[in-house]
Structure 1
Amino acid sequence: MSDQSFGPLARGKALAPFHLALTLGVLSLGLGSFSVPAMAQTVEDQASPVPILDELTVTTTGFGTPRATHTGNISKITGGETDFIDPVQPAEALNRLPGVGIQQGSGAEHLTAIRSPVLTGGAGAGSFLYLEDGVPMRAAGFANVNALMEAMDEVSGGIEVVRGPGGARYGSNAEHGLINFLSRPPSPEGDAELSFSYGSYDRYRTTGTASRTLSGPNNTSHGFRGSFSILDDGGFRASSGLEQQKGRFRYDFDAPDTRIEATLTAVNTNQETAGYVNGLDAYKDPALYKTNPDPDAYRDAWAVRGAVRIERDLSDDLMLVLTPYARSNEMNFLMHFLPGTPVEENGHWSGGLLSSLVTRLDGGHSIIFGFDTEYTDGWLTEVQSSPTTGTPPNELPQGVHYDYDVKALVLAPYIHSEWQLAPKTIFTAGVRFEYTRYDYTNNAPNGISGRFQRIPSRVDEFGDVTPKLGFLHEFDETLTGYVNIARGARAPQTTDLYRLQRQQVPGEAKSETLDSIEVGARGRWQGIAYETNLFYMKKENYYFRDANGFNVSDGKTNHAGIEVELAAPLPMGFDIAASGTYARHTYAFDNVTTATETIRDGDDVDTAPRTLANVRLGYTLPDGRARAELEWVHVGSYWMDAANTVKYDGHDIFNLRADYELTGNLALFGKLTNIFDTRYADRADVGFPGPRYFPGEDRGLYMGATLRF
């Protein structure tokens, strides 16, 4: 590692070019190693709607499983689809799925909702699990509310999303849902491509990937892929530039009884952050929406992670799977959303082992016995360099607010089983026990300083049990139904436990639990591939910050809704794909504060639109060389505060995308976003001192080209 930074945006510790030269060298090797074949895929292959039941998914069991036989919901964006979408940030692709509503902030910042309101703070960081090839991208208890900034979706093998509890194979953070980013495997024939794009707001990006596969003795093979992405974004608003560099190397080994998949990924982010614009409907004001009230705000972060998945066949019906992994990351940012604008620095390194024994029994049954373990060493400081203005100085004093270290240990045995009760009926059952131990050391003086409470060093332990039951039955070729009952749980984030305020009691934060039931159906009807489900979830020990700025540790919420996903061909080369969600997320308790905000049982949780929809009308030329797609993005109205007194009206945005294969080795692509130049807010809430917004971008035009070798 190095303190070398990238470009004029870098301020704090940043990753040196994480050996981008190495990745570029791998790419150059690939470019020089291949003759010039025709394109591996047509535009139609990459982007047209995929028949839902034919997809293979890997997230639930770790192995290729047809979506048709998946007990519970799962959605997938293929690698070809992400190429066609060409998302600037992952939210642009993920929001095409039902039940997903990610609000983009400034640059790479965002807040996530998956079968939930848009959650913030520790809840926003800890309620969702982000994976790369099945391995968590961050340690449990040290999650990042902006975790998608550490994903590499630009060169992708696909993205899989499970809404609701993640099942027995996944522990803390797989509560409201999980997102699994799949790396692109090496191609058996070898491939290489290089893409360039440029557009509005001085936004340009270069991506590249190359792979090669070599045959070895005794029916073995060695596959290599190097990939990189470089983004330089001038920013839609004042002083809001973003620079990101990402790289990944993947190695695959295949032998008759052994398979190995190794990945090394590095991500660096340097951004100038634009803060909220303040005032009712300020996002519509021509004099305000492009301004930046916090021109000094920034965020610098880097992350490096590596994993090796080893599959070994012990016999025809028994397989051992071991996945050792390691990761390290640091972040440094100005907390522009707080009075006094302190600077937070945090980081952790961690390592662990995912292990499982997979046995297949007569009759189509299978059992996975697993044991996961992880050790983490993390730290956090929050320091305010100047006095606070606009609020009593003794509330937010100058100097050190927090300075602590946390060492964490997680041990988690589990069992996941699938039973073929009848030729067309599957029963799944699993349970996971997760033990979490935090060893906290306070490096600042104990006691209360203003509203901040620094507690003495201590040890906290948590034990959580998360069972899951599911039934799936194929009624006929057009209809498969399922019922899924599960519990999700997460130990408190370390910030929930040790970043306390003066009115809190140390140790009062408990493990959050979420009980879920869903009933769903998938199949084909009249040429339409569909999946739909009804869900109800109940959450306890919800930990959040109220309008008075203090944390609530015993909140309760209810969540119920319906989700639909469908795709169908239309005449004359057209096709349509859509997703839609209607859901209510409500408080299930009362909370009366000394501020103006009062939470009442039955009120909507703030920032929880009841309706979300995404509809894409596509057209592909008969020869498959060109495709265009018109997209409608709908976000319904929602309350901006927990008292349900201020509302955002929602918005409807339209985007146009197109790809054209000019020759066998050259493709052109482009997109026009926000076609009608609608004024909207990516995020709207009520903070200090009132309504505030992250304005959405104006109309934007982007063009690019891809070279394939």
Structure 2
Amino acid sequence: MKPYFFYLLFFIVPSLANAQNLLQGTVTDAITHEPLSNVVISSAGADLTIFKDLGQTNAQGKYHLNLPEGTVKIRFSMTGFTAQIVAVSASTLNINLQPATLDLQPVIVSASREKQSRQDAPIAISKITSTQIQDTKATALYQLLNKVAGVYMVDLGNEQHTMAIRQPITYNALYLYMEDGLPIRPTGIFNHNSLYEINMGSVRDIEVIKGPASSLYGSNSIGGAVNFITQNPPSGYAGNVSLQGDQYHYRRVDANAGFTAGKFGLYAGGYVAHQKNGWQDYSDFDKYSFNLKSTYDFNAATRLTASASYNYLNTQTPGSLDSAHFYNRSYGSNQRFTYRKVEAFRSSARLDHVWNEHNASFITAFFRDNSTAQLPSYYIGDVRNAAGQYVSSNGQVNDQKFRSYGFLAQHRADFDFLHSRLILGAYLDDSPSSYYAQYLNITKDVERNYYTDFVNTGRYLDDYQIKLFNTAAYVQYELKPVEALRVVAGLRYDNVHYNFENGLPPSNTKYKQQETNNFNIVAPKLGLTYDLGNNKGFYANYSVGFQPPETSNLYSSRQLVLLKQATFNNYEVGGWLSAFNKKMYFELSLYDLEGRNEIISQLLPDNTTQNQNAGATRHRGIEYSINFLPVKEVSFRFSGTNAQHTYLDYSEVATNYSTGKSYSISYDGNRMNNAPTWIANSEITYKPMYLQGFRIAGEWQHINSYFTNPANTKTYGGYNLYNLRLGYDFKKDLLQGAGIWLNVLNLSNKLYATTVTGNSYGDTYNTGSPRIYNLGISYNFSKH
């Protein structure tokens, strides 16, 4: 019996010793609870002088390691997160990594649709992190995006907006808005308001490309491309619920939850927002927004991701104010019947596969179903006679619908030759759409300047269908001839095809019953980055952007002139550096963006607008951001842009009402209207160590003065806004997981306009909100 006993000890004792040296667990993001792949795990002995790399987490954030003898501490580190060192106290260690307050090399995906370091991308790109999203507690996306250097997202109320990135404040299709790398709307059906079709409660982080990104993403990404990256299923399970509101009866409820069990993961999240009897007359709204995402890992190399989103917005639209009402803080609407109703559904299925360490592919199939119905306040116009006397008023009710089917496929191959990488992609978008607009007779109380009622005449101004087909192919090649230098070249071909079918009889339209329009473009890109070492480097970039005319502009009955395709040449240099022992990070970009046939919004005599091509425009500027962490508890950020936007070749046709004759006015050399020369946003945040979970932040937003008309005879002085944010997240005891916050927006109760538009009879003002106190509570739970 004794020999068998010794044989048993011979096998068991080494097994026990090996079991004690095994370490396993999962590493997750402390904010989103998503598993983190490629986290580097290192070990050290008692002296903590030398850490030895042991391996990395897999795609599911899991690791399984054999520890060297004498291991006392384990370090978990990853770009963009604060490294964590823990003692080895058990065979299983689950780690939550906190996103870094000062991220010197953020990981991005929007530069190539592949994860890479910011310093490998020869473009101006900024990232809004999950930490910023959590700390800001934004009620609208402009409160986040305006933190980015060179970005001014204009708040038009009730999640409506317009944008200014390397462009004046514009309603035109110069920006590409994406969700997880897919355009949320097809080419040709842009809506400056379309970010209300994003569920901001399910956004993990946001990436902003500034300047043309057409070589990878195609049309409309002229001023910039904004990519909203949504939450993935968490490791284990996690969830959050929150409630917030303000003194003007804004109410919002958020809820999200998810889990991962084996190979399957699921996330669901959404919010409901409601406004009733707010600070501005006739501005009630309801918003319902939901996201669903599931993942299935067939194996370590293959993942299927399916997602869907639904957004509904029903809002009253009070319109803008004249100068008298604006400066008297009289926020009454001059009508009570305009509205906007939006329903937007999107779904997609993406299959990722890693063939080997040098090759990876993905293919995405997507579907969109969208309807935007409105009685717009900006189409209400007064008809006047030759003497300028009021005659009548009119408007329209319209509805635009589209349904999209398409796919995006991309393959990436890495080569040993010069450490090069080749990316090939193809895109197809079939988006049939329809549009109608009916003429309204509007009754006006001239003495009170108040529109009292309307009658739908049933007469169609527009009634058409369009078969919209966009096909594209792109290629991008990267190489490193030397270790410090990376060169990137890209080329994309797009064909945008419109097949127009008119529903109006020939006697009632200026268009044919059927016509086709084709727009073709080859958009190149050439850039380089150079790493100077110690978190210092620079980049240079040349790129081309393009913009085909929108279907609503080409075929609208209000459009009096034919439109050409616009093209833009972008020349850009920039750089980055860290200083003060990596406590400060500085980024800088200088650009020269030259537009040919840029589509400009022209004011008509009835104060409505149409579009026409400008011969040439120039946009020159500098964008800069500084992040400084003087001590661990205090962080400081300053972001800004100084720019000049100029008409090089642009004129408008005006009418002399006394003679009835038309004449041309040239604006060559003038500054473009609604183009601030300086935009800045700065924030200082304090998170005391002695009170874990508490934060207080002060923010300053500056918009410089700008001309409100192309003649440069009218000016708006701009504004300075101050915001205060306080919050506390309970870290222990019975209230662990609970949070509370108070945001005070427009702290000084400043009277300001988010945008001002010049017209024939004076300026009109989109009024910014007075001081608002937003109070919220939340509860988080998680386990993995």
Q: Does TM-score exceed 0.5, indicating one fold?
A: yes
Match of 2:771 in 1: 699
Map of 2:659 onto structure 1:
none
Read off the aligned partner of 2:596 and give its amino acid letter. E
- Aligned pairs for 1:684-695 (under 5 A) are 684-687=756-759, 689-695=761-767
2:411 to 357, 364, 379: 357
Once the two structures are superposed, residues 453-473 of structure 1 have per-residue CA deviations (whole angstroms, 9 ceiling, x without a partner) of 444320111111100000100
Distance 1:152 1:403, change over 3 A: same
2:197 equivalent to 1:160: no
- What are the Cα deviations for residues 653-708 of structure 1, in whole angstroms up to 9, with x where unaligned? 00001110233221111101111111100111113642100111110101111111
Counterpart check, 1:521 vs 2:588: no
Q: Within 1, Cα distance between the matches of 2:698 and 2:475?
A: 44
* Structure with more of its chain in strand, by fraction: 2
Opposite residue 585 of structure 1, the aligned amino acid is: H
1:487 counterpart = 2:544: yes
Unpaired stretches in structure 1, ≥5 consecutive residues: 1-40, 216-220
2:727·2:740 contact (CA, 8 Å) conserved in 1? yes
Q: 1:638 aligns with which of 702, 706, 730?
A: 706
Q: Confirm or deny: 8 A CA contact 1:48 1:618 kept in the other structure.
A: no
Q: Structure 2 CA distance, aligned partners of 1:617 and 1:76?
A: 18
Aligned match of 1:257: 301
Instruction: Give the drift of 1:643.
Output: 1.1
In structure 2, the residue matched to 1:57 is 108
Aligned to 2:682: 615
One-letter code aligned to 1:98: A
Shift of 1:175: 1.6
CA distance, structure 2, for counterparts of residue 628 and residue 400 of structure 1:
55
Of 384, 399, 422 in structure 2, the residue corresponding to residue 367 of structure 1 is 422
Which residue of 396, 407, 413 corresponds with 2:467?
407
Task: Give secondary structure in 2 for the equivalent of 1:138.
Answer: coil
Distance 1:332 1:344 in 2: 6
Deviations along 1:307-365, one digit per CA (max 9) or x if unpaired, are: 12211123332222101100110011112112112111111000111011211111421
Q: 1:179: Cα distance to partner? A: 0.4
What one-letter code is carried by the residue in structure 2 that aligns with 1:60? Answer: A
What percentage of aligned pairs have identical amino acids?
A: 24
The answer (yes or no) to whether the contact 2:438–2:457 under 8 Å persists in 1 is no
Cα displacement string for residues 370-426 of structure 1 (whole angstroms, at most 9, x for unaligned residues): 1111101101111123268789xxxx9972111110001111111011111211110
Shift of 1:599: 4.4
1:67-106 correspondence to structure 2 within 5 Å: 67-106=118-157
Letter in 1 for 2:440: S
CA contact (8 A) 1:599 1:642 kept: no
Partners of 2:214 and 2:220 within 8 A in 1:
no
CA gap 1:162/1:572 in 2 versus in 1, 3 angstroms: closer
- Answer yes or no: is the 8 Å Cα contact 2:375–2:398 preserved in 1: yes
| Conserved? CA contact 2:214–2:222, under 8 Å | no
Aligned to 1:345: 399
Measured against aligned partners, the alpha-carbon deviations of 1:547-595 in whole angstroms (never above 9, x if no partner) come to: 3345323442100000001211124722201101100111111304215
1:644 and 1:388 mapped to 2: Cα distance? 34
Task: Report the Cα distance in structure 1 between the residues aligned to 2:650 and 2:221, rounded to whole angstroms.
Answer: 27
What SS is found at the alignment partner of 1:385?
A: strand
Match of residue 430 from structure 1: 490
Matched-pair contact (CA < 8 Å) for 2:503–2:513: no
Q: How large is the Cα RMSD of the aligned pairs?
A: 2.3
Contact 1:614–1:632 (Cα < 8 Å) also in 2? yes
Determine the structure 1 residue equivalent to 2:280: 237
Letter in 2 for 1:263: S
Equivalent residue of 1:143, what SS? coil
Provide the rounded CA distance (Å) in 2 between the counterparts of 1:191 and 1:589: 57
Preserved contact between residue 602 and residue 611 of structure 2 (Cα < 8 Å) = yes
Partner of 1:267: 311
Q: Give secondary structure in 1 for the equivalent of 2:539.
A: strand
Alignment of 1:125-524 (within 5 A): 126-215=173-262, 221-234=263-276, 235-254=278-297, 255-279=299-323, 282-286=325-329, 288=330, 290-338=331-379, 339=381, 340-362=394-416, 363-386=418-441, 399-446=459-506, 453-501=510-558, 503-504=560-561, 508-524=562-578
Distance 1:200 1:240 in 2: 15
Whether contact under 8 Å (1:620, 1:628) holds in the other structure is yes
1:447, distance to aligned residue in structure 2 (A)? 5.1
Distance 1:274 1:79 in 2: 34
The higher-RCO structure (CA 8 Å, 6+ apart) is 1
In 1, are the aligned partners of 2:628 and 2:636 still within 8 Å (CA)?
yes
1:448 to partner: Cα distance: 6.0
- Could you say which residue in structure 1 is the equivalent of 2:387? none
Q: Distance in 1 between matches of 2:772 and 2:99?
A: 24
Question: Per the alignment, do residues 143 and 572 of structure 1 end up closer, same or farther by CA in structure 2, a change over 3 Å counting?
Answer: closer
Q: For 2:640, which of 566, 570, 580 is the aligned residue?
A: 580
Deviation at residue 248 of structure 1 after TM alignment = 0.4
Structure 2: 5+ residue stretches without partners: 1-80, 83-95, 382-393, 450-455, 657-663
Name the CA shift for 1:332/1:94 in 2 (closer, same or farther; >3 Å): same
Q: Given the alignment of the two structures, is residue 672 of structure 1 paired with residue 744 of structure 2, yes or no?
A: yes
What SS does the corresponding residue of 1:570 show, helix, strand or coil? strand
Aligned partners of 2:507, 2:723: CA distance in 1, in Å? Answer: 53
1:605 corresponds to 2:605: no
- Is the 8 Å Cα contact of residues 617 and 649 (structure 2) preserved in structure 1? yes
Q: Which residue of 2 aligns with 1:4?
A: none
Q: CA deviation at 1:74?
A: 0.6
TM-score (norm 2): 0.79
Q: Name the CA distance, whole Å, in 1 between partners of 2:99 and 2:559.
A: 55
**CA contact under 8 A between 1:173 and 1:489: conserved in structure 2?**
yes
Contact 2:348–2:365 at 8 Å: present in 1 too? yes
Instruction: Give the partner amino acid of 2:751.
Output: R
Q: 1:149 to 1:700 in 2, by over 3 A?
A: same
3-state SS of 1:593 partner: strand
Change (3 A) 1:474 1:316: closer
Query: C-alpha offsets along residues 623-666 of structure 1, whole Å, 9 cap, x if unaligned?
Result: 53111100001011111111111111000000001110233221
AA in 1 matched with 2:120: T
Q: Deviations over 1:269-300 (max 9, x none)?
A: 000111111136x42213x2x11113211111
C-alpha distance in structure 2 between counterparts of 1:456 and 1:400, whole Å = 15
**Aligned-partner Cα distance in 2 for 1:72–1:160:** 12
- 1:589 alignment partner, one of 649, 660, 665: 649
Matches within 5 A, 1:109-128: 109-120=160-171, 124=172, 126-128=173-175
In 2: Cα distance, 1:172 partner to 1:152 partner: 24
Change (3 A) 1:409 1:592: closer
Aligned residues: 646
Q: Note if 1:656 corresponds to 2:724.
A: yes
